Amino acid sequence: NDLTRISDVGTVNVARFDVESYANVHHLVSHITGKLSVEYTSNDALDAIFPGGSITGCPRTMVSAAIDQIEATNRSFWTGSVGWFDPFTNDCSWNILIRTLEAHKRGRSWSGVVGAGGGITIRSLPEMEVAEAVWKSQAIRKACGWLEPEFNLTNSGALDVTKLPIENQFNFSHCGGIKTVTDPEKDRGIANSVLIIDNLDSFTLNIANVVAGLGYEVCIVNGRDKISEHYAIAANLTKLLNNKSPSHIILGPGPGVPEDSKLTMAIAKLALTGELNIPLLGICLGHQAIGITDGYDLIQDPNGAIHGTPVACQSDGSGLFRGDNMNRLYVRYNSLVIAGKGSGQFSTNSVDEHGSIMGLRHKSQPIHSVQFHPESIGSKNGIEIIKAFLTLKSDA
């Protein structure tokens, strides 16, 4: 997602996916590559990826705000970055300061603080995370003389690398463009493009990259700013879409609940009244917006939150799930699901192993939604879902 901001469309890919095993820790190592667009510099690249997603989590905009609120203090250098930059070649290399000694000289004395930590995931156990931080800090603490040389909580051993299979490689040849639109009414590029509503998610540009990689022009509009609230008014939205005529609309994923994005809800309502006449796809939060607009309930998933986990989905082969898309593994990032029954306009065409709704299709209009992320590298055949949607026509 972050590299897509500054890379040529279709060039972002996974080059390496390994587990590196050290004496004290296992590291999951991914190398993500992209070709820097000519209009950007290495400074722009650093700005796009900082702070590192493995430090903040995602969606980064929201979790960074939560970190600031919870910690209420500056981290100084810790979890920042140290690196080098060559102004003549535009080359640079940066690290992330995690297992770090920060030393300060006061008068003739030195004092130091050791920073160590680990990524917290949906399945993390607090006690184990604290223990991991203690393990990671040992080498620096020993070097400073703060631990006895023989003190050791872990085993020692040589580096071992285990290569993991890269599940999906995106090979795009004829790509469209990606454009972020500040004010849709003033932009001429929306006509005949795929309009994506960005709900402050860290996957929006991944979706855009797939759509553009398939040869379509993409325009991204913020779904949660003041301008979007103006277009969330039904009359303004109808006028905008009639004047600009995008070929398709995607209601993107995002944190919170669908009502947090007035524009997302307004588009869902317009579609269900039959006034949109533009193919519509809801992904994750966008799926939930379509569901609750039709009368489904939005509930906490009774089987617990899922974050970045491939889930087996069973479909009836209708809508976007025809052919090879019927029964596949798709990656989920959600704690909420729609449940119950709607007004009868939709059919459920995909469920997970627990029977939770993973996909909806409208019975007569080109309106579809999925709870999972088809653009994810872990979603088997996920791009085929997006392809199937993009083949739908506005007069369908």
Q: Are 350 and 332 in contact (CB under 8 A)?
A: no
**CA dihedral sign of residues 344, 345, 350, 351:** negative
Q: Are 207 and 216 in contact (CB under 8 A)?
A: no
Active-site entry in 248, 287, 362, 373: 373
What CA–CA distance (Å, rounded) separates 36 from 11?
Answer: 9
Q: Are 350 and 382 in contact (CB under 8 A)?
A: no
Q: Are 3 and 32 in contact (CB under 8 A)?
A: yes
What CA–CA distance (Å, rounded) separates 211 from 209?
Answer: 6
What CA–CA distance (Å, rounded) separates 252 from 204?
Answer: 6
Active-site entry in 58, 313, 375, 384: 375
Question: Which residue reads 């929201």 in tokens?
Answer: 62
Residue 276 is encoded by which pair of tokens?
């949109």
Q: Which of 246, 237, 243 is nearest to 275 (CA)?
A: 237
Q: Are 296 and 342 in contact (CB under 8 A)?
A: yes
Active-site entry in 284, 287, 368, 384: 284
39 is catalytic: no
353 is catalytic: no
**CA dihedral sign of residues 122, 125, 130, 132:** negative
Q: Which of 303, 289, 375 is nearest to 338 (CA)?
A: 289
Q: Are 371 and 335 in contact (CB under 8 A)?
A: no
362 is catalytic: no
Task: Tell me the β-bridge partners of 297.
Answer: 339
What CA–CA distance (Å, rounded) separates 137 from 130?
Answer: 11
Residue 106 is encoded by which pair of tokens?
């006061």
Residue 264 φ/ψ, nearest 5 degrees:
-60, -45
Residue 60 φ/ψ, nearest 5 degrees:
-60, -40
Non-local (6+) Cβ contacts of 313 within 8 A are: 327, 328, 329, 330, 350, 351, 352, 358, 359, 372
What CA–CA distance (Å, rounded) separates 147 from 137?
Answer: 10
- Residues annotated as catalytic are 284, 373, 375
